[in-house]
Amino acid sequence: MTTKAALVTGASRGIGRAVAWRLARDGYAVAVNARSEAPLRALESELAEAGLRALSVPGDASCSAQVRAMVASALAAFGRLDVLVNCAGIFQKRSLLELDEESWRQMIDAHLTSAFLCCREVAPHMIAAKRGAIINIGSSAARGGTSGAHYAAAKGGVLSLTKALAKELAPFGVRVNAVIPAKIETDMLRPTLSEAESVRRAIPLGRWGQPAEVAEVVAFLASDAAGFVVGASVEVTGGY
């Protein structure tokens, strides 16, 4: 019998992949989502080989029909969803004058629309259960205005969405929080060797963060130990 289950979007690499592993080790049955099916199947197999329960639910998290299908698949397999981690996203650094409308919409959809759609689809099931935890992955760019207007705006929207849903869903026992990473060494953000040292010097802790360190905070926010934590945005930045 499944005692607790989670859905993690953007789980094929980086922070999302680390979160999937961390929650699985905590005893969650984990539905892992991304647009690319092959790395998801590989992750599902790796988790199974470790004796952990996982289900790959590939799809575009910014498409309502596909979100509906992947949530339905997770519920059919596990019978419940206790935790949602919205980690889907893309990164594309461009200046304002380089931005076109398509790039703007792609960024907003990848980060903000996907989080909204997944929250909207999962929330009724959590409300019915009178408990649940939603963790949205933000970025320090939302507060610092770095990495391009489209990326900063998308991540800023994620933080505002978190605050609004935290107030709306808390009366039903559903906790919504955000994690704000910065300078995490992932495939999406990994710099060239020529940039790595200058970036490292800008981090007060003196090193890059690792996806597993973000996953630890996500696991805490998903747990009963964070039962009174609502609407928080927890920084994992090394002081950046």
Question: What are φ and ψ of residue 137, in 5° steps?
Answer: -90, 115
Count of CB atoms situated within 10 Å of the CB of 240: 17
Q: Read off the tokens for 224.
A: 């009963």
Does residue 28 have an active-site annotation?
A: no
Place of tokens 């470790």: 50
Residues 6 or more apart in contact with residue 176 via CB below 8 angstroms: 119, 133, 134, 135, 136, 162, 165, 166, 169, 170, 230, 231
* Separation of first and last alpha carbons in the chain: 43
Count of CB atoms situated within 10 Å of the CB of 145: 13
Q: Which amino acid is at 110?
A: A
Rounded to an integer, what distance in angstroms lies between the CA atom of residue 70 and that of residue 145? 33
Rounded to an integer, what distance in angstroms lies between the CA atom of residue 107 and that of residue 153? 9
The strand pairing partners of 178, in sequence order, are 136, 233
Cα Rg for the chain, rounded, in angstroms?
17
Rounded to an integer, what distance in angstroms lies between the CA atom of residue 8 and that of residue 86? 6
Cβ contact 135:221 at 8 Å: yes
Active-site entry in 67, 151, 165, 236: 151
* Overall residue count recorded for the chain in this entry: 240
Residues 6 or more apart in contact with residue 210 via CB below 8 angstroms: 18, 184, 185
Q: Supply the residues annotated as catalytic.
A: 151
